[in-house]
């Protein structure tokens, strides 16, 4: 069993790399239906977490997740900062209360509900929730990491068919249809990076 | 600093530093230094955007034990302001309200109300009367 230290460092690096690689694409998606800053904002957040990695990796995993959430709130901005921040803060807090006894799928579901409340959004509104809910469903049915990642990518693509109901993209009404939601896209990239990391480094 | 002011404080949050500062200037012209006032505009690099850490600092700077009314422009400004308020922690977070009103008009009329010593609920209600419901 690897220590939390290696796991935390690995996850931080995997997410940081995924956002660095895709930052320009995320800005491009956001330019089409928003203000064009999603990639820049996410990169700023991942950079802040990455620079703090030596402190974060000394913590227990749940506490590290919560503090990464706080760091994202304080650095990302836009709607993404509070949404990703809420997801991780709620997830970390719940995991630390339950330690290893709780059912991760249920805890993850509760954290997603907190994100929905924060964004006053639901399924089908063309937000990162349209990736989070399907991921949660996959975890619930104990899918493999590869299938979870595939579902995340597919779910992000499906947001192209949706009309934006929240955020700046909603100002475009029907014209938001035909474009992938940038938040859903970053969520899919992060999920893929996390799943790939866990797949490679899963304890024997 | 705490308890120094007896009037409700005003915080302006915009995606644009120019809009936030300009709105604060208009408020200041109206009420001088009778109301604690602060603003946060843009992302941490000074570009367009929002910044929860900056909003938190602005709320601290305009702190009044009688409450703080926060004025926001677009969605991200509201969501980040909500996060900043939560990060203040209880019980102070209960003394801060985000007003559902137009940014400039809301802040100016709220400040005028606050400068007369109105409580937070009255300051917020006066600004929100401007809102198309
Ligand atoms: Mg944006």
**What percent of chain A has a predicted confidence (pLDDT) above 70?**
95
Contact A81 B44 (CB under 8 A): no
Residues of B in contact with A85 (CB under 8 A): 52, 83
Q: Which CATH number fits domain A5-200: 3.40.50.2300, 1.10.150.20, 1.25.40.340, 2.40.128.280?
A: 1.25.40.340
Does the structure show a pLDDT above 80 at B105?
Answer: yes
Rounded average pLDDT over B110-115: 97
pLDDT of A99 reads 63
Residue B115's pLDDT band (boundaries 50, 70, 90)? very high
Tokens of A61: 């995993």
* Mean pLDDT of all residues belonging to chain A: 94
Rounded average pLDDT over B109-123: 97
Closest CA in chain A for residue B53 = A74
Domain range enclosing B123: 2-128
CATH number of the domain to which B16 belongs: 3.40.50.510
Rounded average pLDDT over A6-10: 95
More confident residue, A102 or A72: A72
Does the structure show a pLDDT above 80 at B132?
Answer: no
Please indicate if any CB of chain B lies within 8 Å of the CB of A45.
Answer: no
Indicate whether B12 belongs to any domain: yes
pLDDT of B3 reads 47
Contact A83 B79 (CB under 8 A): yes
Rounded average pLDDT over A107-113: 97
pLDDT of A98 reads 77
Integer angstrom CA distances of residue B111 from A79, A96, A101, B68, B78: 28, 43, 52, 11, 19
Indicate whether B133 belongs to any domain: no
Indicate whether B25 belongs to any domain: yes
Tokens of A173: 């009404």
Cα A156 to ligand 1 centroid, rounded to whole Å: 17
pLDDT single digits (tens) A29-64: 999 999 999 999 999 999 999 999 999 999 999 999
List the single residue in B49, B53, B82 with the smallest CB-CB distance to A78. B49
Residues of A in contact with B76 (CB under 8 A): 77-79, 167
pLDDT of A203 reads 60
Please indicate if any CB of chain A lies within 8 Å of the CB of B43.
Answer: yes
For B35, residues 6+ apart whose C-beta sits below 8 A from its C-beta are B5, B7, B8, B9, B10, B27, B111, B114, B115
Rounded average pLDDT over A15-20: 98
Active site residue B66: no
pLDDT single digits (tens) B1-60: 444 578 999 999 999 999 999 999 999 999 999 999 999 999 999 899 999 999 999 999
Does the structure show a pLDDT above 50 at A1?
Answer: no
Cα A97 to ligand 1 centroid, rounded to whole Å: 34
Contact A78 B83 (CB under 8 A): no
Domain count, chain B: 1
Q: Give yes or no for a contact between B81 and B15, defined as CB atoms under 8 angstroms apart.
A: no
Which residue among B13, B15, B59, B64 is the active-site one?
Answer: B15
Please indicate if any CB of chain B lies within 8 Å of the CB of A182.
Answer: no
Please indicate if any CB of chain B lies within 8 Å of the CB of A181.
Answer: no
Indicate the pTM of the whole model: 0.92
Indicate whether B78 belongs to any domain: yes
* Mean pLDDT of all residues belonging to chain B: 94
Q: Give yes or no for a contact between A202 and A3, defined as CB atoms under 8 angstroms apart.
A: no
List the single residue in B43, B49, B52 with the smallest CB-CB distance to A82. B52
The CA-to-CA distance between both ends of chain B, in Å, stands at 37
């Amino acid at each position: 069993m690897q220590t939390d230290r290696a796991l935390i460092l690995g996850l931080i690096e995997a997410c940081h790399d995924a956002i660095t690689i895709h930052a320009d694409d995320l800005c491009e998606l956001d330019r089409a239906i928003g203000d064009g800053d999603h990639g820049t904002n996410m990169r700023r957040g991942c950079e802040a977490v990455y620079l703090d990695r030596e402190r974060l990796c000394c913590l227990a995993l749940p506490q590290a997740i919560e503090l990464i959430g706080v760091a994202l709130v304080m650095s990302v901005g836009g709607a993404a900062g509070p949404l990703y921040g809420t997801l991780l803060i709620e997830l970390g807090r719940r995991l630390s209360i339950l330690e290893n006894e709780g059912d991760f799928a249920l805890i993850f579901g509760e954290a997603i509900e907190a994100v929905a409340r924060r964004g006053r959004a639901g399924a089908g509104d063309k937000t990162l929730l349209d990736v989070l809910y399907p991921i949660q469903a996959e975890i619930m049915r104990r899918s493999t990491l590869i299938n979870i990642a595939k579902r995340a990518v597919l779910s992000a693509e499906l947001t192209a068919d949706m009309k934006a109901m929240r955020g700046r993209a909603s100002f475009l009404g029907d014209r938001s249809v035909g474009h992938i939601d940038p938040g859903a896209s970053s969520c899919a990239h992060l999920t893929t990076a996390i799943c790939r990391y866990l797949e490679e480094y899963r304890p024997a | 600093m705490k308890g120094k002011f007896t009037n409700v404080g005003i915080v302006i949050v915009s995606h644009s530093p120019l809009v936030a500062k300009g709105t604060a200037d208009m408020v200041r012209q109206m009420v001088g230094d009778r109301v604690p006032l602060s603003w946060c505009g843009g992302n941490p690099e000074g570009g367009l955007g929002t910044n929860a850490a900056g909003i938190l600092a602005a709320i601290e700077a305009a702190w009044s034990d009688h409450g703080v009314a926060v004025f926001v422009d677009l969605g991200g400004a509201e969501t980040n302001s909500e996060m900043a308020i939560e990060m203040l922690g209880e019980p102070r977070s209960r003394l801060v309200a985000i007003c559902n009103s137009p940014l400039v008009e809301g802040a100016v009329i709220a400040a005028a109300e606050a400068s007369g010593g109105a409580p937070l609920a009255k300051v917020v209600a006066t600004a929100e009367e401007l809102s198309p419901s």
